[in-house]
Amino acid sequence: MPAIGVLALQGDVREHVAALVAAGATAKPVRRLAEIEAADGLVIPGGESTTLWRLATAFELLDPIKKLIAGGMPAFGSCAGLIMLADRLQDGVAGQQTFGGIDMTARRNAFGRQVDSFEREVTLAMGDDGSGGGDAAPFHAVFIRAPWVAQAGPEVAVLGRDNGRIIAVRQGALLATAFHPELTPDRRIHELFVKMVKGTS
């Protein structure tokens, strides 16, 4: 059973832990480098990307996590976590940095401000191995001041779109969604990530 850490700097930490346990992993909040290094995979929860960046910098975690991800540690980011896994940003604050890893440009607050948050059915086509394709299946998605992927590189598999906008991607051991699957009872995204972690451990 893979051991997955949920980066506990801010955001939906408890909800991700519960979803990972339901998906067949052991999971716990992590905020120290030794805890992160001991995990088989890392979840970067939704929250506020500039706050995540500043806290990761303050706790001297930004560069170490960046190196772990570059070295092959599986990671899943939802909402702000998607932003933190992007190699490039649109509408970032001055000097904002990310962990990177996915060859994509993330647009911050693309769907609007907090008041513009919404829920609706979207379609995901993940394929049996999570590489994209296969039959599109509905997923009830929660978008909270959400980003979208403005541009995805050739190695990035697009797993989901909403009105043509890219909202779910995978590149190798990295997975990201613009929405919050941890806030719904549908565990398919977390089950995919658990499967990804098992495949690398």
Q: Which of 15, 16, 182, 190 is catalytic?
A: 182
pLDDT tens, position by position, 11-45: 889 999 999 999 999 999 999 999 999 999 999 99
The reply to whether 191 belongs to the active site is: no
Q: What contacts 103, CB < 8 A, 6 or more positions away?
A: 87, 152, 153, 154, 155, 156, 171
pLDDT tens, position by position, 45-93: 988 888 999 999 999 999 999 999 999 999 999 999 999 999 999 877 7
Of the pLDDT bands very low, low, confident and very high (cuts 50, 70, 90), residue 128 is: low
The reply to whether 15 belongs to the active site is: no
Q: Which of 16, 79, 190, 191 is catalytic?
A: 79
Q: What is the pLDDT of residue 107?
A: 85
* Residues 120/178/16/193 CA torsion (nearest 10 deg): 110
Calculate what percentage of the chain has a pLDDT beyond 70.
Answer: 90
Q: What is the pLDDT of residue 145?
A: 77
Calculate what percentage of the chain has a pLDDT beyond 90.
Answer: 66
Q: Which of 16, 180, 190, 191 is catalytic?
A: 180
Q: Is the pLDDT of residue 135 over 80?
A: no
Q: Is the pLDDT of residue 141 over 90?
A: no
Q: What is the pLDDT of residue 22?
A: 96
| Joined tokens for residue 116 | 């513009």
The reply to whether 79 belongs to the active site is: yes
pLDDT tens, position by position, 90-108: 877 778 899 999 999 998 7
Helix 62-70 vs helix 49-58: angle between axes, to the nearest 10 degrees? 100
Average pLDDT, the chain: 89
Q: Which of 77-86, 87-96, 167-176, 184-193 has the lowest mean pLDDT?
A: 87-96
Q: What is the pLDDT of residue 166?
A: 92
Q: What is the pLDDT of residue 118?
A: 60
**Closest Cα to residue 69, out of 31, 95, 43, 30?**
43
